[in-house]
Structure 1
Amino acid sequence: MPADRTEDTIAAISTPPGSGGIGIIRISGAQALAILQRLFQPHDRGCRFRSHHLHYGHIVQPGADRILDEVLAVYMPAPRTYTREDVVEIHCHGSYLLLSRILELILAAGARLADPGEFTKRAFLNGRIDLTRAEAVIDILAAKTRKGIDQAQAQLAGALYQRIEAIRQGLMQMKAYIEVAIDFPDEDAEIVDLGGLQQILEQQVAQPLQRLIASADQGRILRDGISVVIAGVPNVGKSSLLNALLQEERALVTAIPGTTRDSIEEYLDIEGIPVRIIDTAGIRDHAEEVEELGIKRAKVLLQQADLVLFMVDGSRDLSEADLRLHRLVAAKPLIVVINKADLCQDGVRDFAAQGITGAAVWISARRQTGIEDLRRAIFAAVVGGRDQWQEDGCAPNLRHRQALLRAEAAGNRIAESLAAGSSCDLIAVDIQECLEQLGEIVGLTTADDILDVIFTQFCLGK
């Protein structure tokens, strides 16, 4: 954010577009109260805008004495506010047209329309929150499951920051010892306790970093979810399975092969994990042009999938098309879903003997039997055999993970230098590199262009 814009008073609608009972407009900056006083006519003529109290009145168009809406207004003086600046909120009726008209008056009175995420960016720049907490706000708004919200709330409360800060404190302790040795080079052998430094590095830096990196996949899964593609030849029941998992008639189901021409995507909550379930066109040869486009899309989605539900018809023997499709997806993590169990009058077929290996779940999508077994199998495939998720404070996004890996590499170089008895100057360089990588996560050393990318992910008004 350019310096000359940080002094602006900014405003935006903070509630989603559309009609609702209440809509909120937020103003932040030195002119927030003055703008409110120009537009707000309190019911109590002697109103002095007590801090953090709602005041009843009307928004009136200046110069026309025309009442636009009956509202509640609150003035929150710095620093006890979201941005650590003076903040005003106007709570009015939730018509988006009405909110837009009031916002226009606010902008005409001297405020500037806020950029996406600018309120939260100011909270970060003014030191109220670190960068991990700022990113947690995005994750709360985008969370698709309760576990996702819990993870984001823990991060907002500082769980990740505290784990990073504990590692930084260990590095700062090492840095202090090393800098003393650099200042007194003739006595460094007596000053530097290599065994003590190695112990600090292992217990306070290396091990905590390894745990954070190990939990990064958990954080990513709870934040972004996983992609699960239902694959199979036409008419094995893929769309019926989608409907059974969603418990609604989302996809058309007919006895005509090739009904699904394009992919259909929906989110499921499976034990707190957001699962993007994708029904694809049945893959077969000699399809007509529109269906062939759907098949090509299905093959792309299969390559991108985190998990494949390879679906076959349990009431008949496998066809060559089934086997070809299995060879196409065999390298992916997959669950074999054997459908139409209710039609297996002549006993259960041994598909493993035909080369279809892997975890198998028998279901009847039509009768909705075995669906819970399949949900449990999906969860088991995602968690990879772990009994439970790890502690709060995992690193939920790619930016965090990359910085942690760079910090771990610097930590490894410190360990090698200590073991080799290298100079204190060389060790100090790697300690500083490790500190900078960790500082990038919490926002101490983050480049401006990275900050811009992070905050433009926010919606307007947050």
Structure 2
Amino acid sequence: MFIDDTIAAIATAPGEGGIGIIRISGSNSLKVAEEIFKAVSGKKISEYNSRTLVYGNIFDGEKRIDEVLVAYMEGPRSYTGEDVIEINCHGGFISVKKILELILTKDVRLAEAGEFTKRAFLNGRIDLSQAEAVIDVIKSKTDKAQEVAQNQLEGSLANKIKSLRLKVTEVLAQLEVSIDFSDEDVEDVTYKEIEEKSLELREEIKKLYDSAESGKILRDGLKTVIIGKPNVGKSSLLNSILGENRAIVTEIAGTTRDVIEEFVNIKGIPLKIVDTAGIRETEDIVEKIGVQKSKESIDSADLVIIVLDSSKPLTDEDLEILESAKSKKTIVLLNKIDLDQAIDETAIEEFVGKDNIIKISALKNEGIEQIHDKIESMVFAGDVKSSSNLVITNSRHKDALFKAYNSINDAIDGIEQRLPYDFIEVDFKNIWDYLGYINGDTVQEDLLDTIFSNFCIGK
């Protein structure tokens, strides 16, 4: 499906830079480029091989606009699957703007957000999961996130979905034959064969679905909240993790009165670290608001880091903090190990496992690496480090897999109850549709518009 009109947009970020790129895609791309571009060699762009950079100038009539390099990529072997022209001019606001305005006077319209990638999908060059991976590559916050996104862009998820849908097709074909040519003598054999395939399919779908939690963290970051009483070393811990003095550290209780948020990369995991006000009873109206925010931040946290002063016995406030984070992934840090110990570790183990208790000295930067290792093990549990790097990072994909998983469970229940093949067929057709929702085979046009509207104009 090739789109009739030709589109153009600036593909580089606005502002000053060495190079600015204007991209044109559509059947008139080459014609438009040859109208406004004159090569120093005197040749036309079409006289060069496709994908050759041609040096020359952009002209508006007799007026030269800029010195440029032009590349022509003949469809369907291009990003969009159509004829594509890319003009490399000097970076900055004026040159790229003038060239784009000139192009838009030549029966070319301004591209919509994500339209270049949308055309790549509509023209069959990539599937929808690969198209969505483009935005993940652009927005990656860590090397690991970029690696997973790049893996999906190259087709790892697309190929897996194709494989799963092929297995569903095989079961549907077997059900169709059984419906059309029913034979009581082979019914038990048929049910058994379908059940074996269904159990295998369910396991594969579940494995993909289970990777979504780690995938979401890689894509959006892990919201990590540091909580504890005043003066236990929360701000010192934040400074140690960040490697800079971001938070004010004093011996005065209540120094941190508001929530401080910072982004940090720990072993490939993007963490949005929130340093909160010390939790205690106070009459100070400003500090009281900060304490309330601290308590609220626990509810929205993916990971809670509780900091306790190991040189002092546990208090009721400490126990209240431990209780408030009981339902969360929690790490307890026993800070100030450079001082004499007075804390009761056994009481803490009633709230968190012994393995989740780490002794540190935030002031002397001791034990910080252990925190990094623990965060990595808690988030990934080893599965993201596999060589496949096939991880679900998109909530839309997760939802589709959840529905496919429910349908395969319904199908297995029907097989075990020896329901008529027609009933089981309905469930497998649902699985087919839900998996197709991921790669775009069964997606609706209005959803496509929503997905691609999150892209930048030039992509």
Rounded Cα–Cα distance in structure 2 between residues aligned with 1:312 and 1:160? 43
SS of corresponding position for 1:41: strand
Q: 1:350 aligns with which of 344, 347, 367?
A: 344
User: Given the superposition, is the C-alpha separation of residues 437 and 237 from structure 1 closer, same or farther in structure 2, using an over 3 Å criterion?
Assistant: same
Write the distance in 2 (CA, Å) between the matches of 1:114 and 1:38: 20
Counterpart of 2:294 in structure 1 is: 298
Q: Does 1:271 align with 2:267?
A: yes
2: distance between equivalents of 1:256 and 1:287? 15
Query: CA offset at residue 232 of structure 1?
Result: 1.5
2:82 to 76, 82, 85: 85
From 13, 16, 39, the counterpart of 1:16: 13
Structure 2: how far apart are the matches of 1:398 and 1:423? 34
Q: Which moved more, 1:275-284 or 1:176-185?
A: 176-185
Contact 1:252 1:259 in 2 (8 A): yes
What's the CA shift for 1:381? 2.3
In structure 2, the CA distance between the partners of 1:347 and 1:181, relative to structure 1 (3 Å rule), is closer
Say whether the 8 Å CA contact 1:230–1:279 is kept in structure 2.
yes
SS at match of 1:193: helix
- For residues 449 and 48 of structure 1, do their structure 2 counterparts lie closer, same or farther at Cα, with a shift above 3 Å needed? closer
Q: Which of the numbers 67, 78, 87 marks the counterpart of 2:64?
A: 67
Q: What are the superposed Cα offsets for residues 33-63 of structure 1, whole Å, 9 maximum, x if unpaired?
A: 2222232222121233321111111222x23
CA contact (8 A) 1:160 1:392 kept: no
1:427 to 421, 424, 427: 424
Distance (Å, rounded) in 2 between the aligned partners of 1:434 and 1:168: 8
2:394 counterpart letter in structure 1:
N
Change (3 A) 1:207 1:48: same
Aligned equivalents of 2:430 and 2:239: distance in 1? 52
Corresponding residue number in structure 2 for 1:52: 51
Choose the corresponding residue for 2:91, options 69, 89, 94: 94
Q: What SS does the corresponding residue of 2:65 show, helix, strand or coil? A: strand
Q: TM-score, normalization: structure 1?
A: 0.90
Q: How many residues align?
A: 453
* Residue 412 (structure 1) shift: 1.9
Change (3 A) 1:8 1:391: same
Please tell me whether residue 231 in structure 1 is matched to residue 227 in structure 2: yes
Find the aligned partners of 1:113 and 1:250 in 2 and give their Cα distance.
44
Q: Is the 8 A contact 2:242 2:264 kept in 1?
A: yes
Pick aligned residue for 1:137 from 111, 134, 137: 134
Aligned ranges 1:63-212 → 2 under 5 Å: 63=61, 65-184=62-181, 187=183, 190=186, 193-203=190-200, 205-212=201-208
Q: Is there any run of 5+ residues in structure 1 with no aligned partner, and where?
A: none
Distance change in 2, residues 1:190/1:386 (3 Å):
closer
Cα deviation, residue 179, structure 1: 1.8
Q: What SS does structure 2 have at the residue aligned with 1:84?
A: coil
Alignment partner for residue 365 of structure 1, among 362, 385, 402? 362
Alpha-carbon contact 2:312-2:342 (below 8 Å) kept: no
Measure the CA separation in 1 of the matches of 2:287 and 2:259: 11
**1:254 to partner: Cα distance:** 3.1
Pairwise CA distance, 1:290: 3.6
Supply the AA of the counterpart residue of 2:343: R
**What CA distance in whole angstroms lies between the structure 2 residues aligned with 1:298 and 1:319?**
18
Query: Partner letter of residue 249 of structure 1?
Result: N
2-side partners of 1:320 and 1:431: how far apart?
A: 55
Deviation at 1:105, TM superposition (A): 1.9
Q: 2: distance between equivalents of 1:407 and 1:89?
A: 42
Distance, in Å, in 2 between the alignment partners of 1:29 and 1:386 is 43
* Residues 310 and 341 in structure 2, CA contact (< 8 A), matched pair in contact too: no
Change (3 A) 1:201 1:353: closer
C-alpha distance after superposition, 1:406-459 (max 9, x if no partner): 112221222222233322222222221110011111100012232222212212
Counterpart pick for 1:282 among 256, 272, 278: 278
Once the two structures are superposed, what CA deviation does each residue of 1:144-196 show, in whole Å capped at 9, x if it has no partner? Answer: 111111111111121112221111111111211222333345x5765883322
The residue that corresponds to 2:237 in the other structure is 241
- Work out which of the residue numbers 367, 372, 397 in structure 2 matches 1:400: 397
**Secondary structure of the residue that 2:206 maps to in structure 1?**
helix
Tell me if the contact between 2:34 and 2:44 (Cα under 8 Å) persists in the aligned partners: no
Shift of 1:245: 0.5
- For residues 18 and 319 of structure 2, the distance between their equivalents in structure 1, rounded to whole angstroms, comes to 56
Pick one of 430, 441, 445 that aligns with 2:442: 445
* 1:37 aligned residue: 34
Q: 1:387 to 1:455 in 2, by over 3 A?
A: closer
Q: Which moved more, 1:350-359 or 1:91-100?
A: 350-359
Gaps of 5+ in 2: none
Provide the secondary structure at the position in 1 that maps to 2:104.
Answer: helix
Aligned residues of 1:218 and 1:389 also touching (Cα < 8 A)? no
Q: 1:313 to 1:169 in 2, by over 3 A?
A: same
Give the one of 23, 39, 52 matched to 1:26. 23
**Cα RMSD after superposing both structures:** 2.5
Q: Deviations over 1:383-425 (max 9, x none)?
A: 3476944733232222112211211222122222223332222
Distance 1:278 1:128, change over 3 A: same
Q: Which amino acid aligns with 1:302?
A: I
CA displacement at 1:122 relative to structure 2: 0.8
Q: What SS does the aligned partner of 1:92 have?
A: strand
Q: For the residues of structure 1 that align with 2:314 and 2:372, how far apart are their CA atoms? A: 24
The alpha-carbon distance between structure 1 residues 184 and 275, as it changes in their structure 2 partners (threshold 3 A), is same
Relative to the length of structure 2, the TM-score reads 0.91
Deviations, residues 345-402 of structure 1 (Å, cap 9, x unaligned): x345324447874322222222211111121122222234769447332322221122
